[in-house]
Structure 1
Amino acid sequence: MATTPPAQIFTITPLKPSEISPEEDIIAEGVNLINSTTSWKEGKTFFNNVKTFSHPKREGDGAPWHCRVSEHTKDEVTFDQLWEKLAKDKAINEKEFIHEIKKVTKVKEISPTASIWTLYYTFMPPVSPRVFTELQVIHLDETAPRTGIIVSIPVDLSSDEDLAKLEEKGVKGRYASVERVMDLGDGKTEWRMAVSSTTGGNIPTYFVESSMPKKISQDVPGFLQWFKSLPK
Structure 2
Amino acid sequence: MSESSKVQLNITSLKPSEIPSEEDIFKAADTLIESCTSWKQGKTYHKVVKTYSQGKNPGDGAPWHCRVSVHKPDEATFEQMWDKLGKDKAKNEMQFIPDIHKVTKVKEITENQNIWSIYYKFPPPVSPRVFTELQITRLSDAPGKPRTGIIISIPIDLSSPEDAELAKMEEKGVKGRYVSVERIAELEDGSTEWRMATSSTPGGSIPSWLAESSMASKISEDVPHFMKWLRSLPKEASQPTAE
Conserved 8 A contact 1:23-1:114: no
Conserved 8 A contact 1:12-1:176: yes
Corresponding residue for residue 152 of structure 2: 151
Please show how residues 97-108 of structure 1 align to structure 2 within 5 Å: 97-108=96-107
Partner Cα distance (2:192, 2:18) in 1: 34
Conserved 8 A contact 1:113-1:138: yes
The 1:75/1:58 distance shift into structure 2, 3 A limit, reads same
Partner Cα distance (1:169, 1:175) in 2: 17
Moved over 2 A (4+): 1-5
Partner Cα distance (2:57, 2:64) in 1: 9
Say yes or no: does 1:125 pair with 2:124: yes
Conserved 8 A contact 1:139-1:149: yes
Partner Cα distance (2:224, 2:126) in 1: 25
Corresponding residue for residue 221 of structure 1: 224
The 1:3/1:44 distance shift into structure 2, 3 A limit, reads farther
TM-score by length of 2: 0.92
Deviates more, 1:9-18 or 1:216-225: 9-18
Partner Cα distance (1:167, 1:219) in 2: 24
Which amino acid is the alignment partner of residue 149 of structure 2?
G
Partner Cα distance (2:27, 2:199) in 1: 18
Partner Cα distance (1:203, 1:229) in 2: 34
- Identify the match of residue 191 of structure 1 among 191, 194, 197: 194
- Unpaired runs of 5+ in structure 1? none
- What's the CA shift for 1:38? 2.1
Please show how residues 84-123 of structure 1 align to structure 2 within 5 Å: 84-123=83-122
- Identify the match of residue 174 of structure 2 among 166, 171, 176: 171
Conserved 8 A contact 1:4-1:29: no
- What's the CA shift for 1:197? 0.1
Partner Cα distance (1:25, 1:86) in 2: 22
Deviates more, 1:142-151 or 1:123-132: 142-151
Corresponding residue for residue 20 of structure 2: 21
Say yes or no: does 1:162 pair with 2:162: no
- Unpaired runs of 5+ in structure 2? 236-243
Question: Per-residue displacement from partner, 1:122-175 (whole Å, max 9, x unpaired)?
Answer: 001000000000000000111422111000000001121100000000000000
TM-score by length of 1: 0.96
**Between the two proteins, what is the percent identity of the paired residues?**
63
Partner Cα distance (1:43, 1:222) in 2: 20
Corresponding residue for residue 185 of structure 2: 182
Any idea what SS the aligned residue of 2:37 has?
Answer: helix
Any idea what SS the aligned residue of 2:176 has?
Answer: strand
Partner Cα distance (2:52, 2:9) in 1: 17
Corresponding residue for residue 241 of structure 2: none
